[in-house]
Structure 1
């Protein structure tokens, strides 16, 4: 079991939230497909991937027990499943649907625990589906995306912002004697005056530069200089630079999500940020398929359906704030 490769210690808040969501996915799989003989091994592998996973799964199990009044159903061992007669291994479609629906009660509680939008230390924050622009004391502007939060600390020798969650677009007032620093997970971005986006999440952090240039300090103490049209993503596999056009930089400012060859799971996770609830996606094979397109995040449910439609999958609402991706 490993620590988060970018934080080097306790998992960041965004990673904990991601683990809670994945735990909900796993519990839903167990409840919906108890006859699947591969699930125990797959679940064990996920539990061992990070120290936050067993805690998140235990929380999901407690939520299920409270919601259903029953102990959570365990996935059968492979030998036990093979010993069952075919009639016992095969569930009628109606029962399968009922298993999904009964999981909704647990998922509601899990979602409430996974999405704590209030951050006590934040100076500025947005709710789910909200975007907001704030002007700082030096005249700089910060535009916050959905479910994002920052702290601001201005001193004589510098201006310091920490992105606690989500993503933000900065238009920084030039002042060479007072550098503007943005901390976002594993990276620190330094500028004197420019326009750029910074985002942070469970997989790392990214920077996209619209105007001017920035310096990005990495966990290994290396520094990368980015100019207008450059982007950089730092994750567990390293640092990745790529060019972007102007319309590809922070398109969420105009209510759009631009996707180019990302996996369905990644896109669903991103659009999920704009929904007041959570989307569960038990199908790994579907999640690995690739998507390219431009989606309207001001209409997140419709955007999700547009992502899923080419793959003959659908978005189903099990309960208020609980959605699940199903193959038709």
Structure 2
């Protein structure tokens, strides 16, 4: 991110513009010219995309609120500056509570804080508003909202390791994919890849549900257990992890491939690539690969595959590298 090079006034102007575009992109009378102007604004600076994504998250929160009859006011005892993102977006979207934000907090409708975090080329450590610590893997994005009766995180993409502050009366909910992870205080890892989610528990216990729309809290994990789920799963798949499990090697900047089939290795590799690696044919997925790699140097792993495996690389029309198996030599007569 380059926000450190901007003045406060410049940063505020980007926030104002993001709120404006959030309103216009959801308006029924939004014209083609406006959409074109938005696309130009969105692409003009990395912070534009960052702030707009934050506004979209606030919009999604506000969609669940009653329709307004009056403007939003800052919560009692809270300076407007700390509520800038929420108050601005909620007011321009005309989704403010008639009773005011303080009443919204008491009723559990509104958070008293909203935070948006993202990482790009480096692992990032952040502290959430409740004091919980989170480590974000490369190319990860999440939001945190603190409600009266619970703390909510939405993992929008990537992978994060959580050390959650213990609070039995204020559970911590992570929404990832179509499911959720519910905890009170623990250490665990969540990885979201495309539409699949994997949860690894290090300490404490968590409840994992594969579909947040279903009743019940899901299945309980204990230390050294993991859960996987994808859309359509009624229940997550639970398994045990072992001492040599390498799921958290990313925290040390490493990717460990322990003699994995390429079909299993590709999701682990692709989370670090700008252009995902593809299989030319399903049989290539059975070829096995191993080694320990620096997560910032995985492009070199891709280019080296033909030197260590019986494969060659091509590119598809989208520019993705494609792994193809070498044709077998015909038997000599």
> TM-score, normalised to structure 1's length?
0.56
1:9-158 equivalences under 5 Å are: 120-121=53-54, 123-127=116-120, 129-158=121-150
Could you tell me whether the CA contact under 8 Å between 1:210 and 1:249 is conserved in 2?
no
> Within the alignment, does 1:187 sit opposite 2:179 as a pair?
yes
Does 1 or 2 have the higher relative contact order (CA < 8 Å, sep 6+)?
1
CA separation in 1, counterparts of 2:294 and 2:257? 11
> Within the alignment, does 1:252 sit opposite 2:250 as a pair?
yes
Could you tell me whether the CA contact under 8 Å between 2:284 and 2:323 is conserved in 1?
no
* Aligned length in residues: 212
What's 2:196 paired with?
Answer: 204
> Within the alignment, does 1:303 sit opposite 2:301 as a pair?
yes
Shift of 1:224: 0.7
* Selected match of 1:165 from 141, 157, 168: 157
Could you tell me whether the CA contact under 8 Å between 1:209 and 1:249 is conserved in 2?
no
Q: Deviations along 1:224-247, whole A, 9 cap, x unmatched?
A: 111110001113566322222355
What's 1:54 paired with?
Answer: none
What's 1:109 paired with?
Answer: none
Q: Deviations along 1:49-83, whole A, 9 cap, x unmatched?
A: xxxxxxxxxxxxxxxxxxxxxxxxxxxxxxxxxxx
Secondary structure at the aligned position of 1:198 is classed as strand
Q: Deviations along 1:298-321, whole A, 9 cap, x unmatched?
A: 3202333566654322456899x7
Change (3 A) 1:203 1:287: farther
What's 1:272 paired with?
Answer: 270
CA separation in 1, counterparts of 2:313 and 2:161? 30
Secondary structure at the aligned position of 1:298 is classed as helix
Change (3 A) 1:134 1:303: same
Shift of 1:134: 0.8
Unaligned 5+ segments in structure 1 are 1-111
Could you tell me whether the CA contact under 8 Å between 2:176 and 2:197 is conserved in 1?
yes
What's 1:227 paired with?
Answer: 222
Rg bigger for which structure?
Answer: 2
Q: Deviations along 1:147-200, whole A, 9 cap, x unmatched?
A: 211111012221110111111110111111211110111221111111101122
The alignment's C-alpha RMSD in Å is 3.1
Secondary structure at the aligned position of 2:277 is classed as strand
Could you tell me whether the CA contact under 8 Å between 1:204 and 1:233 is conserved in 2?
yes
Could you tell me whether the CA contact under 8 Å between 1:264 and 1:307 is conserved in 2?
no
Change (3 A) 1:138 1:239: closer
CA separation in 2, counterparts of 1:241 and 1:293? 26
Shift of 1:133: 1.2
CA separation in 2, counterparts of 1:179 and 1:303? 41
Unaligned 5+ segments in structure 2 are 1-42, 44-48, 58-115, 327-333
Could you tell me whether the CA contact under 8 Å between 2:193 and 2:267 is conserved in 1?
no
Larger displacement relative to structure 2 (300-309 or 266-275): 300-309
What's 1:240 paired with?
Answer: 237
